[in-house]
């Protein structure tokens, strides 16, 4: 009798730890590599367009995987899909670390971030399914761990690269993703055996509703800004005269400020009837950051990095709204896939397009102006997304 009581508890803890390790690595392969791009480019002989393409591939993979993950989860189950996704991430990280050409680097990036993209979508319904009574606490936990990984990766990458080379630094996070994959495979047979829990049924979520369109637009603009900055912010700062180390530290500061958002935004979103003021504040901060980078990029670098780091708090806002407005894990999976799929698909043009514009113009001022202009779309999309109207219908 005690076995039947303890087994579900052990399963619960195993899934919670798997969620934690997966969340920790949702962004490490992005921010941990952006500070190594220069070394990798020198070694493999590629320039800014390829570097921008890698940034675009990341978000494009997120988009494709977001659409693929819900039907895959319906067929295989949530936990099995998570296991395959994290395994793909591990394989991609390792292949990127041993890449012998730009082509192999791009292939490795596709594999790694197809896995990360599927994990992005699958974690939301897994948390809603397995922890319905602790939805906000567990959601906050995985958002915090995502930010910790995003913060730690560039801080650890530079000393590792200095001591052992960029390849070791790029591949080091595969240790943690491999541990997460093992946990998913260990918990999969038991959770997969519980018929109501593992499969994800097909549900209807209409993208035509203003609320869903708003969520898509808000996710798209947030993605555009986040991944443009993650890809190019160190280069922007170095071109302004800062050292590689200082640029990496400011990227980590930018990423680390997401910890504040991870703790503050989800509970604030659920308490406010209409959380649109969060969007307005974020847009104001992003505008300050781009204006500052245009006027005094080096002198005020810490201030602008702070404005950007707090300004992209619309990301946890989007994730919280998806989880809160979906009726159950099935609709959460569908809504998450739709919003992230279209949102990342639109946002993925940023890193490559702005890399091309930078190379053609010879500077960053035009990119700052274009990014600032898209904040108007963020304001409009945020208004629709935050209205207190259900986002999904089953």
Tens digits of residue pLDDT in 109-118: 889 988 988 8
Cα–Cα distance, 160 to 166 (Å, whole number): 7
Burial state string for 18-57 with b = 16 or more CB within 10 A and e = fewer than 16: bbbbbbbbbbbbbbbbbbbbebbbeeeebebebbbbbbbb
Backbone phi and psi for residue 366, each to the nearest 5 degrees, phi listed first: -65, -40
- Cα–chain-centroid distance for residue 31? 10
Please tell me the pTM assigned to this model.
0.72
**Residue 88 pLDDT > 90, yes or no?**
yes
In 3D space, the residue among 176, 175, 156 whose CA is nearest the CA of residue 166 turns out to be: 156
For residue 394, being part of any structural domain is answered with: no
> What's the Cα-to-Cα distance from 305 to each of 136, 285, 288, rounded to whole Å?
28, 10, 10
Quickly tell me which residue has 């730890």 as its tokens.
17
Least confident of 68-72, 164-168, 388-392: 388-392
pLDDT at 207: 62
Q: What is the pLDDT of residues 236-275, one digit of tens each?
A: 999 999 988 888 889 878 878 888 888 888 888 888 889 9
For residue 3, being part of any structural domain is answered with: no
Backbone phi and psi for residue 191, each to the nearest 5 degrees, phi listed first: -70, -35
Domain containing residue 173: CATH number: 1.20.1250.20
Least confident of 23-32, 134-143, 228-237, 297-306: 134-143
Count of structural domains within the chain: 1
For residue 4, being part of any structural domain is answered with: no
For residue 2, being part of any structural domain is answered with: no
Cα–Cα distance, 12 to 14 (Å, whole number): 5
Higher pLDDT, 249 or 206: 249
Average pLDDT over residues 56-74: 81
**Domain extent at residue 85:** 9-386
Listed in sequence order, the residues at least 6 apart from 55 whose beta carbon sits closer than 8 Å to its beta carbon are: 34, 227, 228, 230, 231, 232, 350, 351, 352, 355
Average pLDDT score, the chain: 82
For residue 392, being part of any structural domain is answered with: no
Cα–Cα distance, 99 to 77 (Å, whole number): 33
For residue 244, being part of any structural domain is answered with: yes
pLDDT at 74: 82
For residue 391, being part of any structural domain is answered with: no
% of the chain at pLDDT higher than 70: 87
Average pLDDT over residues 84-103: 90
For residue 40, being part of any structural domain is answered with: yes
In 3D space, the residue among 222, 170, 129, 182 whose CA is nearest the CA of residue 31 turns out to be: 170
% of the chain at pLDDT higher than 90: 24
Q: What is the pLDDT of residues 316-353, one digit of tens each?
A: 898 888 877 766 666 766 787 788 788 888 877 777 78
**Residue 391 pLDDT > 60, yes or no?**
no
Average pLDDT over residues 226-237: 86
């Amino acid at each position: 009798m005690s076995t039947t009581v303890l087994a579900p508890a052990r399963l619960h803890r195993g899934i919670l730890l798997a969620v934690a390790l997966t969340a920790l690595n949702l962004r490490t392969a992005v921010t941990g590599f952006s500070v190594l791009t220069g070394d990798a480019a020198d070694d493999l002989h590629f320039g800014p367009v390829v570097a921008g393409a890698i940034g675009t591939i990341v978000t494009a993979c997120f988009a494709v995987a977001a659409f693929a993950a819900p039907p895959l989860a319906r067929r295989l189950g949530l936990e099995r899909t998570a296991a395959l996704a994290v395994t793909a991430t591990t394989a991609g990280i390792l292949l990127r670390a041993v890449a012998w050409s730009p082509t192999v680097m791009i292939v490795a990036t596709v594999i790694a971030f197809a896995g990360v993209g599927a994990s992005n979508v699958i974690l939301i319904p897994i948390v809603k399914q397995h922890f319905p009574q602790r939805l906000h606490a567990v959601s906050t936990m995985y958002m915090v761990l995502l930010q910790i990984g995003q913060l730690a990766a560039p801080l650890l990458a530079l000393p590792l690269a200095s001591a052992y080379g960029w390849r070791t630094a790029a591949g080091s996070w595969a240790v943690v993703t491999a541990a997460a994959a093992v946990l998913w495979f260990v918990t999969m047979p038991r959770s997969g055996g519980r018929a109501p829990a593992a499969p994800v049924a097909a549900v209807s979520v209409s993208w035509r509703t203003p609320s869903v369109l708003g969520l898509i637009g808000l996710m798209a603009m947030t993605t555009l800004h986040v991944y443009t900055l993650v890809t190019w912010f160190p280069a922007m700062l170095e071109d302004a005269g800062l050292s590689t180390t200082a640029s990496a530290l400011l990227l980590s500061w930018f990423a680390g400020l997401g910890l504040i958002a991870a703790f503050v935004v989800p509970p604030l979103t659920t308490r406010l009837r209409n959380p649109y003021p969060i969007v307005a504040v974020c847009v104001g901060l992003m505008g300050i950051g781009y204006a500052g980078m245009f006027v005094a990029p080096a002198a005020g670098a810490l201030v602008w990095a702070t404005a950007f780091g707090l300004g992209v708090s619309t990301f946890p806002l989007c994730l919280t709204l998806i989880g809160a407005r979906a009726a159950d894990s099935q609709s959460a999976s569908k809504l998450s896939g739709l919003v992230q799929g279209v949102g990342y698909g639109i946002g993925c043009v940023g890193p490559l397009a702005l890399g091309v514009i930078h190379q053609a113009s010879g500077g960053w001022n035009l990119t700052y102006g274009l990014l600032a202009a898209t904040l108007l779309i963020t304001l409009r999309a945020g208004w629709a997304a935050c209205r207190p109207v259900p986002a999904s219908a089953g």
